[in-house]
Amino acid sequence: EYAHYLGADEAGAWYSVLLAGNAAGAILGVLLLEAANVLRPNARAAIVCAGLWAVTIGFFPAAQSYPLAVALLVLAGVFNITFTSMAQTIVQMLAPPRVRGTMVGLFNTAMLGLRAGSGVTVGVVGAFIDVRRSLELSALVVALIAVALFVYDMRRGPRLSGAEGVDR
């Protein structure tokens, strides 16, 4: 639908370009995390990246050109891999060793389940109000949750983590 909205005659090839933009962003995000060591994994950074992911995804439906849409998806890929990797790192580092596998499994199941549920929600709501508006609404909800978590984390102040290099 987005490829068609942006004026493509054949959605398959143009959809692939959009998907490739998101994948390229994920690769760039890995490079930033691993090679450049730009961000330290902590809850606050993960929350900020999740919020920035929501903002880029929220602006994507409003893009009026393919280059802008692809650029937004590249950024979304960067923020997505960054917040996902940080969140998983935090769970692994802070989980007690005897239940670490269980905690990581629960985290992954919940995270993937929420994403699948979001896809269904965006699609169902999109059938009523338009897919673009539905994605914008979903992104707004994620952004508001990120802001609430960020404010909560800021009010809590700095914490000792118990795991070297990872802040709670």
Flag whether pLDDT at 9 surpasses 80. no
Flag whether pLDDT at 156 surpasses 80. yes
> For 26-30, 102-106, 150-154, which range has the lowest pLDDT when averaged over its residues?
26-30
More reliable by pLDDT, 90 or 8: 90
Flag whether pLDDT at 15 surpasses 50. yes
**What's the pTM?**
0.81
Q: How confident is the model at residue 152 (pLDDT cuts 50, 70, 90)?
A: very high
What is the overall mean pLDDT for the chain?
83
Residue with tokens 């942006």: 6
| Calpha distance 22→116 (Å, rounded) | 17
More reliable by pLDDT, 126 or 139: 139
Tell me what pLDDT residue 8 has: 65
Tell me what pLDDT residue 114 has: 77
Flag whether pLDDT at 162 surpasses 60. no
Q: How confident is the model at residue 168 (pLDDT cuts 50, 70, 90)?
A: very low
Q: What is the mean pLDDT of residues 116-129?
A: 82
In terms of Cα–Cα distance, which of 112, 59, 56 is closest to 79?
56
